[in-house]
Amino acid sequence: MKMKNFFLIFCNVILSVIGQLLLKQGMNQVGKIEGHLSEIVTRVLHALSNPFVIGGISVYGSTTLIWLVILSRVKLSVAYPMISLGYIFTILFSWLIFKENVPKLRVLGGFVICIGVYLVSRGEFGD
Q: What are the pLDDT digits (tens) for 21-31?
A: 999 999 999 99
User: What is the pLDDT averaged over residues 52-69?
Assistant: 96
Cβ neighbours for 99, distance < 8 A, ≥ 6 positions apart: none
Give the Cα separation of 94 and 1 in Å (integer). 32
> Per-residue pLDDT for 64 more than 90?
yes
Q: Is-contact 28 53, C-beta < 8 A?
A: no
Model pTM score: 0.85
What is the distance, to the nearest Å, from the Cα of residue 77 to the centroid of all Cα atoms in its chain? 18
Q: What's the pLDDT band for 125 if we cut at 50, 70, 90?
A: low
Domain ranges of the chain: 3-121
- pLDDT band at residue 84 under the 50/70/90 scheme: confident
